[in-house]
Amino acid sequence: MSMNMLLLYLLVQQTTALGVVKELFKILVFPGALFMFALALVGEWFDRKVHGRLQHRVGPFYTGWHGILQPLADFIKLLAKEDIVQKGADVKSLTMTPIVAFTIALTMVMFLPVYKGTGIISFEGDLVFLIFLATMYTITVILTGWFSTSRFGEIGTVRSGLQLVAFEVPLALSALTPAFVVANYMSTPRQVAQMLAFMGILNLPTLTLEQYLLLSTFAPELLTFYIAPILQLQPFSALQVLTIGNITAFQAITRIPLILVAPISFASLLVSLMAEMEKVPFDIPEAHTEIVAGWQTEVSGKKLALFRASGDLEMIFGAGLAATLFLGGPYGPGSTIGVTPIERMLGAFPLGYIIGLGWFLVKLFAVLFLIALLRTAFARFRIDQVTAGAWKYLIPLTIFNIAAIQVAVYLDVFGWKFASTLIIIALSML
Amino acid sequence: MSRNIIPIGPQHPALHEPEHFQIIVEGETVVDVKPRIGYVHRGIEKALENRTYIQGAFLVERVCGICSNAHQCTFMMAAEEAGGIEVSEKAQFIRTIVAELERIHSHLLWLGAAGLEIGFETLFMYVWRDREVVMDLLEAISGNRVNYAMNILGGVRRDISPELADKIRKGLDYLEERTNYYKKLCLEESTIHKRTEDIGVLDPVTGVKLGAVGPTIRASGVKFDVRKNDPHLKYDEADFELITWDTCDTFGRVVVRVLETIESIKIIRWCLDHMPKKGDIMPEKLIRRVPEGEAYSRFEAQRGELVYYLKSNGTDKPYRVKIRTPTMANILSLAEILKGCYIADVPIALASIDPCFSCEDRVTFVDIEKGKTWTWTREELRKYSREFNEREKRW
């Protein structure tokens, strides 16, 4: 993350001196850059280990406990390697692309709600921004192959571009499906109030009597201050709906992970993310037996290290996004809230955060396992088969899922609760 | 649409040996292929003329690492036929067993490599792990994992004891179970179908016309197998089926190889059961000289029909040896196979004939434009090399 962005971020937050330190810690250490980088390396190790074990191999083995430090060792080794740029390459641009790719990847993971409902960076409509960032990442990849002016690099670039064209639409559609669900749910003031209360923006209506009394003793002004605006609440706007924090909060309140409502979209998101990450059935832009290493053929040394690290970060982002949008993110089935109002009031260390982090990691690694499983089970497709498959099957199926949800919602509005429940159950059975 | 030439090789990630193909494409589709061979010519035929039969036996093994036993066995069969040397019954059985074990190892190796060509790394890992079993068996029989050095004039060098036979049977049980699994996988896995079906089509008429051999032509539905058509060793008695497949494409070649592996297991079992308990495996006195004569020996190697022509002159060295390897016979069909493929399919279509370029490399002097061929003597060759080096200023 650049210094300017950091300063801007701090300005927006209007923090004090201690606040600045806290924010810096958040961004640089936990759950920001350092934690995410470590998580990315562990994620790569997990992926390689599972992949290896599924292939009857031992996987990484020597460095650290069961080879857990292998990705870090690889990273350091690559940093120390000679950085070769061949004749005819656009040197300046080729030096820039890995840095840009790494920055984008690091920015993307900052949006993940690691331990509470929102990530370090969050604003209204951040889901759309994330999809945009994911596209930008692929575009840096395309540019890398193009700037390298290598024959294999160019073929890889073209293939990468074709894959982008094929999977951009299903990725956006499936990532936005949860937003459709939330939009339908957040149409009455009562539900909006419940949501806001849950997120801590509005913290009274759901209190128990004891909590109510406690609060009225310690901070009576909050009571009058917060109850009044409830009656004027508006349904969620489109931007509010397209916010990761709201989608996770929705899943926590209703206690329905959205994978039950939109299983096809979840599958579609996973497939599109695998295409974006160039994992095995879709590793066409870097097909070893056809075009050496595709777009990264001429990338070496530090550049390769950065690309590999950003690839790992992207994998964490992809798995984290799927876990957040469809599996409930840091909210487990039991715990409702990251921080209880009591904890917030007393300033106690929020135990909910630790539980939230645990749940998030469990879900993240579950998705990573799924990805490793899928990439073990398939052979590489051909580029024409992939694009045809994306447009013929993936997009219509995702649209069907969204349409089915809409139909269920309308039936619900017209009072045919039974039919609507039936549709939702049928969807979750898929 | 405009035509472009895409060079594949001599250095290319899909090729494991240096060979050059000029691929002429219209858009993404291959319309014509011009193979050019001769990058790794090693002059083995000539070298054999200066070596005794015993030395030659170990040299021909090096023609090909994967079908080393096939080469040695064919060479020995040719010499035995030319000189009328008897081979004992037991030696014939052992030769058959080693040949079939080698076929299993080669077909499994190919299946894994084909998996890698279509990006199916898991298949590669699984198959090559199971291939270790057959490698261990071959090591137990011959002492070597490759280049088994089993054959000698009039017999084989190592015996298969009853204990070893039991060990082989155990290994075969495991291999049969695994091969059946791969058969199921190849017939049912959808991505394999997607990447191999209707790719690299070779219709039987063209295939026969161009002289294709081995699994390449059997996948086009032609019943051509030296083991059945002109049986050598013990194949006339052994109980096995001639595998063919009629899809004429790369998928057919995958299936034929997998099914042949199962047949090979059957043949080895039969051989182990019917092998005489007692008997010499080689003549008591080592045969060094082969009486005058000539012979033409055919052998069904893993990649297809392997042919040795041998002329002996009564000394301990052959007068002339001519080798025609299966890839040599298949290379023209390969050009036909590649036509109509997409560029992305070229690696797997190329691999589908199981090419071994180092075996088949030959050198001849041809001027295509003037349409003439010529021969050079050693002096002329030396003169050319001097001129060439002066021209290029290498010294």
Domains identified in chain B and CATH numbers: 3-40+328-391 (3.30.390), 44-324 (1.10.645.10)
CA distances from A112 to A32, A46, A196, B104, B274 (A): 10, 19, 20, 51, 69
Chain B nearest C-alpha distance from A373 (Å):
11
Mean residue pLDDT of chain A comes to 78
User: Is the Cβ of A374 closer than 8 Å to some Cβ of chain B?
Assistant: no
Q: Are B296 and B309 in contact (CB under 8 A)?
A: yes
A379/B14 touch (CB, cutoff 8 Å), yes or no: no
Residues of B with CB under 8 A from a CB of A: 13-14, 115-123, 125-126, 129, 189, 191-192, 194-195, 342, 344-347
- For chain B, the helix, strand and coil percentages under 3-state DSSP, each to the nearest 5: 50, 15, 35
- State pLDDT tens for residues B265-284: 999 999 888 888 887 888 88
Residues 6+ apart with CB under 8 A from B91: B154, B155, B156, B280, B281, B282
User: Which of B116, B119, B346 has the CB atom closest to A280's CB atom?
Assistant: B119
What is residue A43's predicted lDDT score, i.e. its pLDDT?
92
Structure tokens at B363: 């050198």
Chain B nearest C-alpha distance from A51 (Å):
9
Q: Are B87 and B80 in contact (CB under 8 A)?
A: yes
Structure tokens at A126: 């951040």
Q: What is chain A's alpha carbon radius of gyration, rounded to the nearest angstrom?
A: 23
B129/A56 touch (CB, cutoff 8 Å), yes or no: yes
- Residue range B103-128: mean pLDDT, rounded: 89
Q: Are B207 and B352 in contact (CB under 8 A)?
A: no
- Residue range A316-341: mean pLDDT, rounded: 74
Rounded-to-10 torsion of CA A374, A375, A381, A384 = 80
User: Is the Cβ of A162 closer than 8 Å to some Cβ of chain B?
Assistant: no
B194/A57 touch (CB, cutoff 8 Å), yes or no: no
Structure tokens at A361: 């990691």
Sheet holding B318-324, edge to edge: B293-301, B304-312, B318-324
| Model confidence, pTM | 0.80
Cα–Cα nearest to A40, from A357, A317, A376, A360:
A317
- Residue range A295-301: mean pLDDT, rounded: 83
pLDDT at B85 over 80: yes
Chain A nearest C-alpha distance from B191 (Å):
6
CB hemisphere CA count around B207 (13 angstroms): 24
| Coil, helix or strand at residue A169 | helix
Bond into B162 cis (ω within 30): no
What ipTM, to 2 d.p.?
Answer: 0.76
User: Is the Cβ of A381 closer than 8 Å to some Cβ of chain B?
Assistant: yes
More confident residue, B335 or A10: B335
- State pLDDT tens for residues A197-228: 655 554 444 444 455 555 556 655 555 555 54
What is residue A216's predicted lDDT score, i.e. its pLDDT?
57
Cα–Cα nearest to B70, from B239, B347, B304:
B304
A56/B126 touch (CB, cutoff 8 Å), yes or no: yes
pLDDT at A338 over 50: no
What is residue B347's predicted lDDT score, i.e. its pLDDT?
84
Q: Are B33 and B21 in contact (CB under 8 A)?
A: yes
Structure tokens at A261: 């409502």
Size of interface A-B (CB pairs under 8 A): 62
- Residue range A234-242: mean pLDDT, rounded: 70
Q: Which of A79-88, A224-233, B88-97 has the highest mean pLDDT?
A: B88-97
- Residue range A98-123: mean pLDDT, rounded: 85
For residue B344, the chain A residues in CB contact (below 8 A) are 284, 287, 290, 382-383
Query: Minimum mean pLDDT among A115-124, A135-144, B350-359: which range?
Result: A115-124
Query: Minimum mean pLDDT among A7-16, A274-283, B250-259, B307-316: which range?
Result: A7-16
Structure tokens at B179: 């091969």
- State pLDDT tens for residues B315-367: 888 898 888 888 888 888 888 888 888 888 888 888 888 888 878 777 778 88
Rounded-to-10 torsion of CA B89, B92, B96, B98 = 110
Residues 6+ apart with CB under 8 A from A136: A104
For residue A384, the chain B residues in CB contact (below 8 A) are 342
B122/A54 touch (CB, cutoff 8 Å), yes or no: yes
Residue listed under structure tokens 């090979």: B264
Model confidence band, residue A100 (pLDDT cutoffs 50, 70, 90): very high
CA distances from B105 to B94, B100, B387 (A): 17, 9, 47
What is residue B389's predicted lDDT score, i.e. its pLDDT?
81
pLDDT at B104 over 80: yes
For chain A, the first-to-last Cα distance in angstroms comes to: 41
What is residue B194's predicted lDDT score, i.e. its pLDDT?
83
